[in-house]
Amino acid sequence: MRIATVRTSQGTRAARLEGDQLHLLAWKDVGALICDAAEQGIDWADLAGQSEASESIQFTGADLAPLIPRPGKIICVGLNYRMHITEMDRDLPEFLTLFAKYPEALIGAGDDIVIPPESDAVDWEAELAFVISNRVRRANAQQAEAAIAGFSIINDVTMRDWQYRSPMWLQGKTFQESSPFGPLLVSADELPGGVRPALDIALSLDGELMQSSNTQDLVFDPPSLVSYVSTIITLEPGDVIATGTPGGVGHARKPPRYLVSGQTLTTTISAIGQLVNKTAQEIL
């Protein structure tokens, strides 16, 4: 099953993708659909698949909102690809590095990434993201696998100069309108590897390849992330976990390279899709 959140003249709507058609469903967004399915105790994909569509629109050219516009939690993992850890001159971690992102940071799959005037070190970070399907606390391996609703793409655009103002990364990770999220939620049964997907991940800047890896390079796989995070806090339906970025970020290059206004970032994960976002200077 593949679903999106699309903007319409009446507001946002969850939509089921079939071929190149988005079939608009009754829920206001993907998060609302997943929460409703959890309350009913049924699989979200079954609920979406059985629901009648009010109308259909072309997927190509659709105005996509952030996949889940206002998640209750956005939990991000740092230093989770072996190649990225090496390029940042760090040792492989024994434990996870976690930080948060807030909903105000999220934008749609084709929206502009806002470059704030306060930062001149804006960096790209292509990431596999997944969404939680049901409430879970201290999940064992089986429960962790069952709690993964599906997978998507997020670009954890980072203001490096703000990130490294202190040992706590949050302030560089959650600038407003900086992080595209989408275009689709894809259920694990449609992906090679299932809840431990084996997917090519890449990012290009104005057509130049910057990041290229495979999600098999993750140190901690998605079920492990669910188990670890749910030990700390209850995960709820619609929560989002971003799994970390592979090597090739601008900050690690010599000399470093950062984003400026007018560029185009294309973030691709095989079997899921693409984010295509231009950068735009914020107008105060």
pLDDT tens digits, one per residue of 123-141? 999 999 999 999 999 999 9
- For residue range 167-185, list pLDDT tens digits in order: 999 999 999 999 999 999 9
**Alpha carbons 14 and 109: distance in angstroms, whole number:** 15
207-212 contacts at long range (C-beta below 8 A, 24 or more positions apart): 207/264, 210/124, 210/248, 210/249, 210/250, 211/124, 211/126, 211/245, 211/246, 211/247, 211/248, 211/249, 212/246, 212/248
pLDDT reading at 83 higher than 80? no
Angle at 247 between CA 245 and CA 251, to 5 degrees: 90
Q: Which pLDDT score is estimated for 256? A: 97
Give the whole-number percent of the chain exceeding pLDDT 90.
93
What would the DSSP string read from start to end of 35-67? HHHHHHTS-HHHHHHHSPPS-EEESTT--BPPS
Q: Which residue has the tokens 């058609």?
A: 21
Domain extents in the chain: 1-65, 66-281
Q: Which pLDDT score is estimated for 24? A: 98
Output the pTM of the full model.
Answer: 0.96
Q: Which pLDDT score is estimated for 50? A: 93
**Alpha carbons 21 and 59: distance in angstroms, whole number:** 5
pLDDT tier at 199, thresholds 50, 70, 90? very high
Instruction: Please name the residues in contact with 166: beta carbons below 8 A apart, sequence gap of 6 or more.
Output: none
Residue 115 pairs with which residues in a beta bridge? 281
Domain 66-281 indexed as CATH 2.60.40.3880? no
Q: Which pLDDT score is estimated for 89? A: 76
Q: Which pLDDT score is estimated for 283? A: 85
- For residue range 216-267, list pLDDT tens digits in order: 999 999 999 999 999 999 999 999 999 999 999 999 999 999 999 999 999 9
**Alpha carbons 242 and 225: distance in angstroms, whole number:** 10
Yes or no: say if 172 and 184 are a contact pair by the CB < 8 Å rule: no
Give the whole-number percent of the chain exceeding pLDDT 70.
100
